[in-house]
Chain A
């Protein structure tokens, strides 16, 4: 089983602060995805990283895929209350049409 470990599990910060959350594995992944889930809603795909060392930006969010394709990070600059949610990383299973999800980082941004 290709496990994905996310840290921290919970994060509470004030508006305007920067933060980084991590997704780590001992396995190599062909790609990793990041989803954000707002309370009471389904997860929404934010980004897919495919190439080792790749950096993708989505407004104030910066995603990086590790050189060895075993880990990824999400950095948020100047967090806003609208960034509040559960951030999930996911990677493809070895076979079949399914993903392994990490347990997620629950982020709370207060005004």
Chain B
């Protein structure tokens, strides 16, 4: 079947705007993770969903960042009042259960001008 998909692949926005990034996990995967990867760095954990609930959101940098997964499948990462420092590649990964092998999406490259 299809792997993890993320849309859009690229997003350019102006400072102060609101953006939504979407992740479609592998069907049946209950665990979903969001990461942020800045240039020259490894993926940085943001939030983990088990089913519909955010089981761990300790990686979200501040209250401008929020994520939802209302039906336990598709997830949306929302960033309010974007700042230039938010520019990065946002990765989504899913797995059949927490701690198991994660399958990554291609990422969304966010550029805040």
A binds B: no
Interface residues of A (CB under 8 A from B): none
By a beta-carbon cutoff of 8 Å, the part of chain B in contact with chain A is: none
